[in-house]
Structure 1
Amino acid sequence: MRWESSRMMLPEHVAVLREMARHADRIAKPQLDEQKLEELERMIHDASSRKLPIDLDYYHDGKIHTLKNCTVSIDSCVQKVRISNPSGIAQNLPSQNIVDVRFSSRQDI
């Protein structure tokens, strides 16, 4: 009974443990070579000019996220890509955070 109180944790310790668990699954941003960057740029430009849907992987907050079957438009002045998903929700992504691009297998948007 005397050691029963030692099982309790201070709120500060709990907060630190939760923060460590939240950051445990983070990864470093992938470094792409020049050839891969040119390929991504070409595919995004093709998809934008031909209005083709793409699947796009991007890095944000320590994780790789995927957007499927979306359309893109390019804003080269601010180096951002505007992504619109099939339901019409749009977002701007910094072009340097894009990790991979594939033409979507589904052509009906």
Structure 2
Amino acid sequence: MNRGNKLWESHRMILPEHRARMLESEITPYVVPMLHEDVQEMIEYRVQEAMVRRQPLKLVVGESDGEHTVEGRVVSYRTETRSLQIHNEWGRFQIPIQNIVRVL
């Protein structure tokens, strides 16, 4: 008797709180907050310091689907695109500096 996945299909459910959160995230996209000049300068200073000292850095990056944490070493800064190149165990990433929300 092979029923496939029918036994587990009937037991799936979503809690009302989770459903509301899923619907809310579909309706309202995340908007990267505008940071004050002082905060932007502090972020740029900490990034530059980590780049010179070759220390790993943990960044909170705002994207269209929410905030994400990225950790790695800053390899380079590209002035023409105003983006950082971060290297970690998953590879190299380009992160626009205006999307950085904070440095941890």
**Conserved? CA contact 1:29–1:62, under 8 Å:** no
* TM-score, with length taken from structure 2: 0.69
Structure 1 pair 27–61 and aligned structure 2 pair: CA distance change class (3 A):
closer
**Conserved? CA contact 1:56–1:67, under 8 Å:** yes
1:57 correspondence with 2:53 = no
Tell me what 2:73 maps to.
71
Partners of 2:31 and 2:81 in 1: CA distance:
24
Residue 66 of structure 1 aligns to a residue whose secondary structure is strand
Residue 96 of structure 1 aligns to a residue whose secondary structure is helix
* TM-score, with length taken from structure 1: 0.66
**Conserved? CA contact 1:51–1:71, under 8 Å:** yes
What is the root-mean-square deviation in Å for CA atoms of aligned residues? 1.9
Aligned structure 1 segments of 4 or more residues deviating by more than 3 angstroms? none
Partners of 1:62 and 1:32 in 2: CA distance:
19
**Which consecutive unaligned segments of at least 5 residues does structure 2 have?**
1-21
- Per-residue CA distance 1:48-89 (angstroms, 9 max, x = gap): 111011111111113010013x1012112321100111x151
Residue 28 of structure 1 aligns to a residue whose secondary structure is coil
Would you say how many aligned residue pairs link Structure 1 and Structure 2?
81
* Alignment of structure 1 residues 36-51 onto 2, 5 Å: 36-51=39-54
Identity of aligned residues (%): 27
